[in-house]
Every structure is written in structure tokens, then in C-alpha cells.
A and B are shown apart, each in its own frame.
Chain A
Amino acid sequence: MKRTWEQSLFIAVFLTPAFLLFTVFVAVPGARALLYSLQKWDGLSKPEWVGLSNFAALFRDDLFRIALGHNVFLTVTAGSATILLALFFAAVLHRRVRGSAIFRVAFFFPNVIASVAVALLWLLLYSTTDFGVLNGFLAWMKETVDWPAVSLPIPFTGKPYLVYSVVPMLVWTATGFYMVLFLAAMEGIPESFYEVAELEGVSPFGQFWHITLPLIREVVVVGVVFLVIGSLKLFEAIWIMDNEWPSKETHVMATLLYQKVFSEYNVGYGSAVAVLMFVLVFVATLATLRFSRREALEY
């Protein structure tokens, strides 16, 4: 069917604002970042064309490899824990346990708090001062029960431990969102599947494994894509918890990018990190989506 002039105008009117915003805030800055990544520029003097040498330096740089390693570590640990816990909580709530509405809100709550506020909250939780809830609890445990010799307070957010301490925070923040996502998918599964399984004597775990999981697989894969993108772009958690001064022990790619551009004024190198982050996120997303398309089930 041929589109009329009015229809084309209608489409154009609705698309123009989005196109303008995308061009101004995404496409142009993105193109400029790509251009900077091919230049040596300190942000003040005249840029100098250096081709791919910023990328070559990036691949030789231990610091970049370490930062990328931290991203991968956080993606794998925090990501798997988040998906597993979200699936568990969603499955439990799907079984209509008592107070499931309250649990749903309670689990989702961390997701509505600003990420900076979450990081500050966890800084207090981990604090080694009198405000430190976790160290206070450990001190109480040490006094009340026969606790093995451990030196308190534990500097959870000290540089050598920070990357590990961020994991529970990321899991706490993200689990609620994925739980709601998975629960919504589970609600769409016809009840009759479970009734048949009940009649056949399939255990609750068996029902989850053989009915629920295969039928929400597509949504789980989308969840994994979100997590991979989020983990590769991770910034606030490390930036705030390391008091805006990350180092080799704590850097992730986004903090390295920021430090290179805004503290060391190495705009070319920082932009190369940004371009590589974009490529990694793009490839990871594409790979996961392709996997999801092959495995999708219909019911």
C-alpha cells in the first residue's frame, strides 16, 4: 500500500523531535568522541591527528586491562547473583506466598533510589567509624559469641577490598527490578500448565525448571543484556565509594575514562576508552540477542 503525503507528514512530525534529540545528544557527541579518539589532545592546545595510536596504547596499558577485568568480574559475580536471586524471589512470589505484595514493593524499593544515594547509604553501612552498621554488628558478635580472632573494624571500602564490597550493593540495588521483570513474565504463563504438572506429581522445583524457566527464557536473556550493559557502564558505585579518587585497585572502564579526560587531560586516550566501551557493549548486546532469538519458545 502506498503511503499518502499526509501519512508521511504525520510520521515526520512525530519522528522529528526524537531525531533531533538523538542527533544533538547522542549522534554528534558520539561522532566527536570517535574523532577525539584518533587525536592527541589535552583539551587546551591544538589537537594532533595520531590515527589508532590511542587504541594501541590502550591495549598495551595494564591499567586498562585491570579496569576491564574489574568490569568482567562485576558482570559475572554481581550479574549472576542478581539473576539467580531475582529468579528465586520471582518464583516464590509467583507461588502467591502470604504478603507477596509487600515483598514485591520492598524488593523493588532499592531500584527507585538514586544510584549516588545508594552508594552513600552503603558507605555508611560499611563505615569503619561508629556509624558503620556492619562493623558494629561484627563487633557485637565478637563480644557476645566466641568469634574467631578477626581484626575489627574491617575496612570494607578500603582500596584493596572495594571491588568485592561493591558486589552486594549492586545485587541489592538490581535484584528488585529483575524480580519484577521475571514475575511479569511468569504471570503470563497459563495456570493450566502448572495444574497438569501438579496432577503428574511434579515437585515445585521441577515445575520451575521444566515449565517456568523455559517459558520465560527470552525475558531472562533480556535481563542478562541489561545487566551486561549496566555492568560495562558502571561508574557511580566505584566513583562514590572510592571518594572520587579511584586507583589501579578500584578502576572500572568508566572511571578510567573520566580520570583520563578530566584529571589527566588526556582527551584522546579517554575517548578511545569510551569508543571501546561502546564497541564492547554493542558486541555483548548483539551476541546475547542473537542467542535469545534462537532459543525463544512460544506458547
Chain B
Amino acid sequence: MPLVVIFLRWDGAIRPRIPGNERLRSVEVAVFEGGYGITWHQKTAAEYTAAHAGEGANVNVWGEPRMAEKVKPRILRGDPPSLIMDNRLPLWLMISTGKLLPFDEVLDRPAYGSDLPWRDLFLPGTLDTYTSGGKVYAIPTSFGAWACWYDARQFREHGLSVPRTWYEFEALCRQIDAAGIAPIAYQGKYPYYAWFTYISLLQRCGGLALINRVNAMEPGAFSDPDALKAAGMLQDLARRYFQKGSLAMSHTESQLQFVNNKAAMIFCGVWLENEQRDTIRPGFELRCFNVPAVEGGKGNPHVFNGLGTEFVFMPTEGRNPDVAADFTRYMVSLEKGPDMGASIGVISPLRGGCPPSAVSPALQSVLRMLDESMVDGTPGIFNVRLAELLLEWQQQVMIPSLAGLLHGSLTPEEFARRLDKGIAAARANPDIAVPEFKPYDPEIFGEPQ
């Protein structure tokens, strides 16, 4: 028994230490080391430390591909890093259990490089993803958008043009198919990818009013006739135009098919260029277009599924939260936006935070999409929050149902019934805290009711 007690005590006592002078106001920043690397973050931390040396600030960035596994035990032990940047941690769970600090105090301060409050610079909706009780618990460091990607050179060579409507899109797929090229590459091993195309079609068919019903977890929202139409369109697209064998391809395999021109288009997020940067051949002109308009649909075809991504958050028990929050304000600023765009190929979540000249032509096409979505100066961005909010629903209902729809083993009606049933179960579960939801105003987004 004493041995067991010793082990239990010892088990909680191991803690990695970041070298540094303890008298300084040290901030440890743990960054998921993925496609974007951590070099830019380290450089930014060094700049911040140099600029705030008088105040004793000392920001250290370290990275790790298995970041979530590394920091989880430290959160449990009450010794987390001051800032964490890894979306694979259960942020909603951390918010509901009081493990995260809000950023509101610093959000109301002027932004670096501007007289305006930092909060006012964020693109609409990008701060909403992890907002609860009116408080913002995570700050996006980049802006993500869902789009259809293509090689402009290949399109030119085959006399193809960017479609504006779903009818044109299907005609384009047939044209590509006739040329002996697979129309659409698909990351079949990860049905999650198709979710974003599906919710884009939901908006095209049923407008933001339908997106609001889905976000509000309204009973039967997925069985709405417009939602069934969207599911049917996605299933039809998969059956007729997805690359053969793509159901067994991982994201990198299918993206490789695309950059090797074996498939002409792929639905993906803005990270595509960065993820494939070592495989994109010279001459490949990566560009994107918005999910085409659906004939007879209720949605504004210029708005798109966009959201803040690569979130940074502040554990409650982290050291020097005031410095950590201020460093976040510096990192996500108008000053650093162009540098971030040029260095790691991401779009800043701030309005005007990323001039087109700072980013690649591929990301410029995303910025064009953003410009085209503007309604009276407001970017037309929407998102569906369910996948991040309901982890069990995502894993056990959403992903398998999407896989079933795309394999053809589920009809659109069965697919919708499963999603609705799962949502009803989640609503009935007292353990799931559903935060309030700020609905989109369809009229503001150019969708008169």
C-alpha cells in the first residue's frame, strides 16, 4: 500500500520545466507543431520579449505535434502553460469546467497598430466560436474558409471556367470527366471534410435561416426539405463526380491526386496550400472559388463558411495571464498580420490584417471571396457550431452518417433522421452545457425573408 501511495503522489509530481529566469514574468506558450510550424511564433515571442524587457516579460514558445497529449496531464495537475494553441483539446469542456480564462479585458484595450479596441478589428463571427456567457475564451490566430480549389492553368488548358451556379458546376464536372480527368478529389477517410461542403449547401438551399435552426439545435432542422435537398445534392455529387477509389483515400492522398492533376477540383479549407507546399509543382496555379449558388435556393451565394481557426487560449492556472493575454494581442495584430501571412501562409482574422500583397495568389483568391461576400461592409461569413460543441455527436453520429450518405448506404432522409435523433439526444443530456447562440440576421447578409 505505501508503494501505491508513493506512486500516486509521484505520478502527479513530474513536470517539465521551461528554462528561464523565475524572477521574470515568464509566459510559456505551447503551440501545436503542424503544417505552420513554430518558427514564426518563436520569432514573434522573441520580438515581444525584447520590446517588453523593461516590464520583465519573457515569452517562450515550444512546439510539439502531440501537444494535446503533452499538456492534458499538466492541465489536470494545475500546472498548464500560460497559453495553448491546439484545437484538439476539448475547449468547450474546459470552458464549462472553469479551466479557461476569458480575454475580454484585453479585447477591450486598443489593438497593436490601431486606436480601435482589439475586439472591433476581428472579422464578424470569428470570436463567436468559443464565446460563452458573453465572454470570449479563445482567440483565433487565423481565418479559415471553405472553398473549392482548382488549378487555373489546367482550367485554361482545357477551356474550363469557374462555375457560378450548381447547374454550371455539374456541367463543368461532366466536361472534366469527358476529358479523362476525375472531376473532384475527396478525402474519403475523413468524412468530416464533407461536413463543410454539406453546411455550405445547407446555406445555399435554405439560407441563413436554416443555419440558425441548425445552430439552435432545433428539432427536425436536418429534415427540413431544404436540408434534405442539400444532402441529396452532396450524395449525388459523390456518386457521380468524386474520384473513383477516393472513399479509401486519406486527406494527403486525395490532395496529392489533386496537385498532380489527376483530379481537377477539391473541396478544402485554406490550409490546403500550406499542407501541400512540398508537392505543388511549378506551374500549378492554385486558386479557389466559392461553393456555387443553387438554383432556386434561399441563400445568398456570396456568403461562405468561414471562421476563426488556430485558436489560442489561456488556462486558468497558467502563470502571468496578463502578459499572456497581451502577447496574444501582439501576435494577432495589424502589425503582425502581414508578416504572419507572408511567413506561414495564413490569413489574419482581423479586418485589413492581411493585405493581398502579403500572401500567395492562392490566398489572394480567398481574400477575393471575402471581398465578394461583403454586404454593406460586413463580410458574409457563417459557421455551424455543432461539431465543436457536441464531441460525442460529432464522433458517433455526424461522421458515420456522413460516411453512410457518401457511400450511398443511407438515403438523405435516413441521414437527416440520424442527425436529428442525435441532436435530440444531446439536448436531452443534462451533462451537455449548450451555450447561448447568436443567430445570423439573414437580412444583414442579403437574404430577405
Contacts and interface: CB of A to CB of B under 8 A. Distances in A.
Partners in one complex: yes
Interface of A: 20, 23-24, 28, 31, 40, 42-45, 63, 126-129, 132, 135, 151-161, 242-243, 245, 247-249, 259, 263-266
A128 B8 contact: no
B244 A151 contact: yes
B391 A128 contact: no
B7 A152 contact: no
B93 interface: yes
A159 B407 contact: yes
Nearest to B244: A153
B203 to A, nearest CB: 26
B72 A129 contact: no
Contacts of B360: none
B65 interface: no
Contacts of B244: 128, 151-153
Interface in B396-444: 396, 399-400, 403, 407, 409, 431
A153 B76 contact: no
Contact of A45 (B97, B247, B253): B97
Contacts of A259: 395
Nearest to A126: B248
The SS class assigned to the A binding surface is loop
A36 to B, nearest CB: 13
Contacts of B431: 40
Given A44-B97, A128-B246, A28 B188 contact: no
A155 B395 contact: no
A259 B392 CA distance: 9
B7 A28 contact: yes
A43 B72 contact: yes
A160 to B, nearest CB: 6
Nearest to B403: A159
20 contacts: A23-B7, A24-B7, A31-B4, A42-B90, A43-B93, A63-B396, A128-B246, A129-B257, A132-B245, A135-B245, A153-B244, A153-B248, A158-B248, A159-B403, A245-B189, A248-B400, A249-B403, A263-B395, A265-B391, A266-B392
A128 B248 contact: yes
Given A20-B3, A44-B94, A243 B250 contact: yes
Q: Which of B76, B253, B257 has the most CB of A within 10 A?
A: B253
A158 B190 contact: no
A245 B192 CA distance: 10
Contact of A247 (B3, B256, B399): B399
Nearest to B402: A247
B399 A245 contact: yes
B342 interface: no
A63 B395 CA distance: 11
Contact of B395 (A24, A42, A157, A264): A264
Interface of B: 3-4, 7-8, 72, 75-76, 90, 93-94, 97, 99, 188-192, 244-250, 253, 256-257, 391-392, 395-396, 399-400, 403, 407, 409, 431
The SS class assigned to the B binding surface is helix
Given A43-B76, A129-B245, A266-B392, A249 B400 contact: yes
A152 B256 CA distance: 19
Given A247-B403, A264-B392, A129 B253 contact: yes
Contacts of B192: 245
Given A158-B188, A243-B189, 9 more contacts: A44-B76, A44-B90, A44-B99, A63-B396, A128-B244, A155-B247, A158-B407, A248-B400, A263-B391
Contacts of B248: 126-128, 153, 155-158, 161
Contacts of B253: 127, 129
A127 B247 CA distance: 11
Contact of A158 (B72, B247, B395): B247
User: When A and B form their complex, which 10 residue pairs have the shortest distance between CB atoms, in order from nearest?
Assistant: A128-B245, A155-B248, A153-B245, A158-B247, A158-B248, A45-B97, A243-B189, A247-B400, A155-B247, A157-B248
Contacts of B407: 158-160
B194 to A, nearest CB: 13
A44 B72 CA distance: 9
Contacts of A28: 4, 7-8
Contacts of A126: 248
B256 A42 contact: no
A282 B407 CA distance: 38
A87 to B, nearest CB: 33
Contacts of A132: 245
Nearest to A62: B396
A245 B403 CA distance: 12
Contacts of B99: 44
